[in-house]
Amino acid sequence: MDDSTLTISLIIPVHRNHEPFQACMASVRNLKPAPDEIIVVADGDPEGAALAGSMGIQVVETTVAGGPGAARNRGAEQARGDILFFLDADVMVYPDATDRLHKLFAEEPEIAAVIGSYDDQPSEPNFLSQYRNLLHHYVHQNASPEGSTFWGACGAIRRVVFQDMGGFDERYRYPSVEDIELGCRMRQRGYRIRLDKALHIKHLKRWTARSILYTDFFRRALPWTAIILRDRRLVNDLNMKTSDRLSVAASGLLFAATAGSSIRIEMLMVTGLMAGMLFMLNQPIYGFFYRKRGLWFAVKSVPWHWLYFLYSGLAFLIGIVRHGLGLKSVERG
């Protein structure tokens, strides 16, 4: 088939969070050209099914919530398009998304999938939501265009490739790393993924301290560690670049030195060295925060960023121990 005639099926799983979903659907109506079909998967969500139905949207309804991976699979089973375009229900898509996908898949027929990026204008005004979403934006904007994984929030994949891969792993019962896991399997099979840094979505999620810590540790770091150990492959991309790995080590040494300074005053020197190392390694992102939101925002982001490195390293160590003991991966229901 001529890639210029490829059709696009837009698939959106929804589970409860209906206000962002309505904003998402409003943005979908502005897509130019419009998708060839739109499928909303109400994942154990009768209200979401009724809401989508009232919009005249094709609805696939599940009686029990199986998680976003399973919901996307159910939508893909009903889709007829050549390209499956997955979008989260708590994002707003930019109007040129489908046009960009048509052009990318047509111009690069060897590409199996395309992923996008959060924009730099998060909707929620509180500091943690701004920090978290700007961090994600920065990571994607500074990653390799030769993608190392898939992204379910805004990702498109050729239907034949999706079927060949068996879709998302449905053992992930909650939003986790089911998209990353699919991308890792795709790369192992030799499929190419393109990161289009201009394919933007706006994240509508409000982040709190609790949601960041819980999601990052239990839904991201621990299960991602399990994938790394399973595949025995650690990519130098996204948030796992060499500078990030060094930052994880430095944050652990900083914590240990700070704790040990009450016993040995010499540890204060180590504390200072590690703090300086962390700042220098991550100066580019702090400069980005400063340019986007000012000095005070950048200053406030530093302890949260260092804490992120610390608990990511802890999760990696716990994951290694669990893997060695043959324990079940904790992110799966």
Query: What DSSP assignment string belongs to 247-294?
Result: HHHHHHHHHHHHHHTTT-TTHHHHHHHHHHHHHHHTHHHHHHHHHHH-
Residue 295: phi, psi to the nearest 5?
-65, -45
For 124-128, what is the mean pLDDT? 98
pLDDT of residue 1: 47
pLDDT of residue 329: 62
Binned at pLDDT 50, 70 and 90, residue 215 comes out as: very high
Taking alpha carbons only, the member of 226, 223, 150 closest to residue 193 is: 150
| Percent of the chain residues topping a pLDDT of 70 | 97
For 147-158, what is the mean pLDDT? 97
- If 0-12 CB within 10 Å is exposed, 13-18 middle and 19+ buried, where does residue 311 land? middle
Token pair for residue 101? 């996908």
pLDDT of residue 331: 52
On the question of pLDDT at 220 being above 90, the answer is yes
Binned at pLDDT 50, 70 and 90, residue 332 comes out as: low
On the question of pLDDT at 333 being above 70, the answer is no
| Percent of the chain residues topping a pLDDT of 90 | 89
Rounded (5°) CA angle 156-158-163:
115
Q: Which alpha helices (DSSP H) does the chain contain, by range?
A: 18-28, 46-54, 68-78, 97-107, 127-141, 159-165, 178-188, 209-214, 222-231, 242-260, 267-281, 283-293, 295-325
What structural domains and CATH numbers belong to the chain? Answer: 3-206 (3.90.550.10), 208-333 (no CATH)
On the question of pLDDT at 264 being above 90, the answer is no
DSSP state at residue 147? E
Phi-psi region of 226 (alpha: psi -120 to 50; beta: other; left: phi over 0): alpha
Find the range with the poorest average confidence among 64-68, 263-267, 273-277, 302-306: 263-267
Comparison of pLDDT for 33 and 238, the residue scoring more = 33
Q: Which CA distances in Å does 234 have to 66, 228, 241, 269, 305?
A: 29, 6, 9, 32, 21
Bond prior to 68 in cis (omega within 30° of 0) = no
Q: Which CA distances in Å does 48 have to 62, 65, 190, 246?
A: 11, 12, 37, 44
Residue 196: phi, psi to the nearest 5?
-95, 105
Query: pLDDT tens across 11-25, in order?
Result: 999 999 899 999 999
Torsion angle of the four alpha carbons 155, 157, 163, 169, in this order, in degrees rounded to the nearest 10: -20
Token pair for residue 91? 């994002």
Pairing type for strands 37-43 and 58-62 reads parallel
Using the structure block, give the residue that is written with the tokens 């919009």. 55
Cα separation, 157 vs 69, in Å, equals 14
Determine contact, residues 157/187, Cβ cutoff 8 Å: no
Query: pLDDT tens across 82-102, in order?
Result: 999 999 999 999 999 999 999
Q: Structure pTM?
A: 0.94
pLDDT of residue 4: 62
